[in-house]
Amino acid sequence: MKQEREFLTLRQTQDALLEILVVFDEICRKFGLCYSLAYGTLLGAVRHKGFIPWDDDVDVTMPRPDYERLHDMAERGEIVFPEGYLLSPDRGKNPDYSFMKLMNSAYRISSSTHLEVPYLYLDIFPVDGVADDEATREKDARRNGILINETMLSHWPTIAGPWRIPVRILSLFPYVFLQLFGVRRRAVEKLNRNAQKYPFETSRECDCTNFGENRVYVPTDWYRSYEETEFEGHKFMILTHWDEFLTKRYGDYMTPPPADRRETHSLKAYLVEQE
């Protein structure tokens, strides 16, 4: 008899995300790969010593050289993840996005606000160099924004709830059209090519340029210095310049936003064995 699907609570989802983060951290320490908790995850570490209470995802950043090492070592089988863990493709014939996700296939997910991969995941964003002049940076960001929209539109909706069937029906034609003409693959290829136009190693400033118009340009040297911090009772790596980064990104980051501005991915996760 098919087991009735039971979605995880937010706290259970956070615990499952923490498991993925622990695996990622262990791999990076074992192979000497640099990473930092990033964005809302970094903010949660500093302000809450763990997840932001309403958050339902985990973000990390890696300098491009370390990111490429992670990809290549996993591709060659030098890095072996625990059973059920896998990296989503960020290149090749059928990439998911222009960055990788470490997924745990024990948990399927759906989201009412995002088009996602099928399994619960941790986002791994590469950090790349940017142009020295502001005008070129803005031009690059606008160009990448168009490509990012193309990658998002060519994903199959994974939403749950009463609108699931109508949304999937309405999305069928654009999804098939974009898949048929390889729009996502070409957009991801261009994003990856654009991102690496300014090598991390020789650039004065950097950003995560190949997903989202972050435009939080910071000195490249910030990604060469790390320290440990507490997160949900574990120790993970963050930028030594975490205060400057969070201030540049969020301003007064220690003051939580009002309830109506607390954004999430609206994830619903459940065990695959319930299918």
At 94 the pLDDT is 85
Mean pLDDT confidence for 61-68: 98
When mean pLDDT is compared across 8-12, 73-77, 111-115, the lowest value belongs to: 111-115
Mean pLDDT confidence for 113-135: 89
Written as one string, the DSSP assignment of 63-128 is EHHHHHHHHHHHHTTSS-PPTTEEEPPSSSSS-SSSSEEEEEEEEEEEESS----SEEEEEEEEEE
DSSP class of residue 144 equals H
When mean pLDDT is compared across 7-11, 147-151, 249-253, the lowest value belongs to: 147-151
Q: Which of 69-73, 213-217, 271-275 has the highest mean pLDDT?
A: 69-73
Residue span of the structural domain in which 199 resides: 10-274
In this predicted structure, the answer to whether residue 114 has a pLDDT above a threshold of 90 is no
At 224 the pLDDT is 97
In a domain, 201, yes or no: yes
In this predicted structure, the answer to whether residue 222 has a pLDDT above a threshold of 80 is yes
In a domain, 4, yes or no: no
At 2 the pLDDT is 52
pLDDT, the chain, mean: 88
In this predicted structure, the answer to whether residue 211 has a pLDDT above a threshold of 80 is no
Confidence of residue 229 (pLDDT cuts 50, 70, 90): very high
At 10 the pLDDT is 95
Mean pLDDT confidence for 60-78: 98
Structure-block tokens of residue 259: 């309830």
What is the count of structural domains for the chain? 1
Please give the share of the chain, as a percent, with pLDDT higher than 90.
67
pLDDT: which is higher, 264 or 138:
138
At 265 the pLDDT is 77
On whether the pTM is more than 0.75, the answer is yes
Mean pLDDT confidence for 155-183: 56
- Residue 57: count other Cβ atoms within 10 Å of its Cβ: 21
Mean pLDDT confidence for 138-162: 72
Burial class (CB in 10 A: 0-12, 13-18, 19+), 92: exposed
Mean pLDDT confidence for 199-222: 89
In a domain, 5, yes or no: no
Query: For tokens 């975490």, what's the residue?
Result: 242
DSSP class of residue 182 equals T
In this predicted structure, the answer to whether residue 117 has a pLDDT above a threshold of 80 is yes
In a domain, 266, yes or no: yes
When mean pLDDT is compared across 19-28, 65-74, 116-125, the lowest value belongs to: 116-125
In this predicted structure, the answer to whether residue 108 has a pLDDT above a threshold of 90 is yes
When mean pLDDT is compared across 144-153, 175-184, 247-256, the lowest value belongs to: 175-184
What sign does the dihedral 188-150-186-266 (CA atoms) show? positive
